[in-house]
Every structure is written in structure tokens, then in C-alpha cells.
Amino acid sequence: MKTCTKCGQTKSLAEFRVDRQRPDGRGSWCKLRGGGHARCSR
């Protein structure tokens, strides 16, 4: 589980894009549903 820094909701890691530069391997914003963009789905 990880908290999105954009919306503040706690979501599963699968809902975050892969970012190998971050320590946990995931981006800080959750994915937009169905789009794969690095934007938050509210």
C-alpha cells in the first residue's frame, strides 16, 4: 500500500506507475484509470 501525494488516498502499488529512480520503485501519483498517465484519479 502507498499513499498518493496528489489525492492523499492510500492505494495498492499496482495503482502507481513504475519509476525505477524512486526508492520503492513506484511513482508518487496514482494512475489515471484506464489511461496510464501519471495523474491522480480522484
> Tens-digit pLDDT profile for the chain (42 aa)?
999 988 888 999 999 999 999 999 999 988 865 455 555 655
| Per-domain residue ranges of the chain | 1-42
pLDDT of 23:
94
pLDDT at residue 11, as a whole number: 92
Q: 31 and 41 in contact (C-beta within 8 Å)?
A: yes
Q: Of all residues in the chain, what percent are helix, strand and coil, respectively (each to 5)?
A: 5, 30, 65
Sign of CA dihedral 38, 17, 41, 1: negative
